Structure 1
């Protein structure tokens, strides 16, 4: 009886056949690739990404500590927090994208790297009075490491497909449904990234904030987190009734973005500081992310009840 159980579990070492490392495992979030299942290029990509992220976060944390001690009301304090938040999202896209074979998350990782570069270049070029060695080193490292990181992300994403086939099967229709669901899920995460970034930017005067900024901070981050999580559950469970709720509750986002643009327009005509330009970049990205998300929702809604959810259940949760 024990021998039968060992045979069923895939243990063939007693027959002289070496064990083959598992390339995928089923976890609480679905099928995930193991380290043994990664190709050398994917491992190299993760290594380069890790070096890039740790270097960026390390230098930024050092700058954050210095600014917090010397002048907590300085704009640099908010900029450092902004870079750290975006670096954390880049780390998530890198590792989750590879281990879960999320092609579009690697594309968004490329976009997120470019965003950090734009933030760093804008801050260093506009905020000339506060230039220092740490900022220069951070900018140089970002410019040097970003191109190979972007190249590896693109090439690695082109090789994905195994997990998609295991989840969606050979059906071209289900593969298209899976693709749309993956894109929508990816836009949800990117929407969370840019929305949180824009909310953080209400602290443009450092720790000196008023009542309006306090309310935006207290409501903005929990709201955008709850909205994106709700969208994820709507996608996963294919809840048609939740779509109008998701859309209507989401209109608060573009309304806030328009409010920010109006305020920025007033600021840029009076005093154009470094943070004003960064708010413009973050606001434009947030608006575009929301528009693309709503556009992709049309295709996702049409694919509800087409069999992808049932196929995903057979594979113990496919879309994340």
Structure 2
């Protein structure tokens, strides 16, 4: 405990004025405090928060309006899609900065681009339902996205202090740590794009058939379970869980292929032009497929790193048995 106090700068007992703690130790590992952030990191957090709240606020306003007038409107699905992705962006932003997860800030930049693509495609294709709220949302997205992405890249470039505290000076452990961080980020991004694709099952708002109900009822819980299972597999280096994770994960590309075939058949049978949600399904499905491939490649890399020392950086006891704490192994 004394060592932890000294590390945080608590020298008041020696007559030396105390300084604000730059990090604190939590159940998920070391986390930076507001006092320990640089000015550009604080600027990035504030700027991102304003943008996220603006996007959620405008989209929620549109969602309430659609829910009050016509829940079968395709805008109902699109507004939910924007809100879900904005929440993920918020998580990447704050967790990435406070836990020094530079790869999460890279994913945040990708997520912002994804939202921007959604907004542009929806406004360009869905000409019949254009309104002032959508125009304002599109303008804000186009103006705010570029500087937000630049700030994210600048902030992520200077990360490294927590990584050194966690992995130490060993180059091998630092490489293992980075591999685990990359896998963790792909796992979260996979969760985001898969949930987005499942939400797109609401092609006609709340007017859905049995297949769409099954997709929503099973798809989202399964995706959450698979992501959490992978998270524990990584943190605890559970080699026995890897085959289960892979086998269960095969359901994802199978669903993506099913969605592509379904949308292709719908386009062939329909005499009308493809709807905005059809374009969103195709874009989101393509991204989800690529993310799944990258995730499986990174899984092979992190499994090879199991048992090389990162797990032994710390121990905690949970519900009566000893498990790995991994102070800062990406979560």
Give runs of aligned pairs for residues 231-242 of structure 1, distance below 5 A. Answer: 231-242=230-241
* Alpha-carbon distance change, 73 to 189 in structure 1, aligned in 2, over 3 angstroms: same
**Contact 2:166-2:313 within 8 A present in 1 as well:** yes
Q: Tell me whether 1:186 sits opposite 2:196 in the alignment.
A: no
Q: Paired residue for 2:20?
A: 21
Q: Paired residue for 1:112?
A: 111
**Contact 2:311-2:326 within 8 A present in 1 as well:** no
More deviation, 232-241/15-24: 15-24
Structure 1 distance, partners of 2:181, 2:127, is 42
**Contact 2:8-2:23 within 8 A present in 1 as well:** no
Structure 1 length normalisation: TM-score? 0.95
**Contact 2:176-2:305 within 8 A present in 1 as well:** yes
**Contact 2:9-2:21 within 8 A present in 1 as well:** no
Structure 1 distance, partners of 2:97, 2:111, is 16
Q: Paired residue for 2:313?
A: 311
SS for the counterpart of 1:17 is coil
More deviation, 75-84/279-288: 279-288
1:110-140 Cα offsets, whole Å, 9 max, x none, are 0000000000000000000000000000000
Give runs of aligned pairs for residues 231-270 of structure 1, distance below 5 A. Answer: 231-269=230-268, 270=270
**Contact 2:198-2:215 within 8 A present in 1 as well:** yes
Aligned with 1:287 (options 259, 270, 289): 289
Q: Paired residue for 1:73?
A: 72
Structure 2 length normalisation: TM-score? 0.92
Give, in angstroms, the shift of residue 14 of structure 1.
Answer: 5.8
Q: Tell me whether 1:49 sits opposite 2:48 in the alignment.
A: yes
Q: Paired residue for 2:220?
A: 221
**Contact 2:194-2:223 within 8 A present in 1 as well:** yes
Q: Paired residue for 2:195?
A: 196
Q: Paired residue for 1:96?
A: 95
1:32-91 Cα offsets, whole Å, 9 max, x none, are 000000000000000110011000000000000001111100000000000000000000
Q: List gaps (5 residues or longer) in structure 1.
A: 1-5
Structure 1 distance, partners of 2:40, 2:220, is 36
Q: Paired residue for 2:321?
A: none
Give, in angstroms, the shift of residue 237 of structure 1.
Answer: 0.5
**Contact 1:83-1:116 within 8 A present in 2 as well:** yes
Q: Paired residue for 1:170?
A: 169
Q: Paired residue for 1:40?
A: 39
* Alpha-carbon distance change, 123 to 223 in structure 1, aligned in 2, over 3 angstroms: same
Give, in angstroms, the shift of residue 312 of structure 1.
Answer: 4.7
Give, in angstroms, the shift of residue 29 of structure 1.
Answer: 1.1
1:232-278 Cα offsets, whole Å, 9 max, x none, are 10000101111111001110000000000001111223241111001
Structure 1 distance, partners of 2:283, 2:314, is 38
Structure 2 distance, partners of 1:231, 1:237, is 10
SS for the counterpart of 2:203 is coil
* Alpha-carbon distance change, 9 to 154 in structure 1, aligned in 2, over 3 angstroms: closer
**Contact 1:31-1:316 within 8 A present in 2 as well:** no
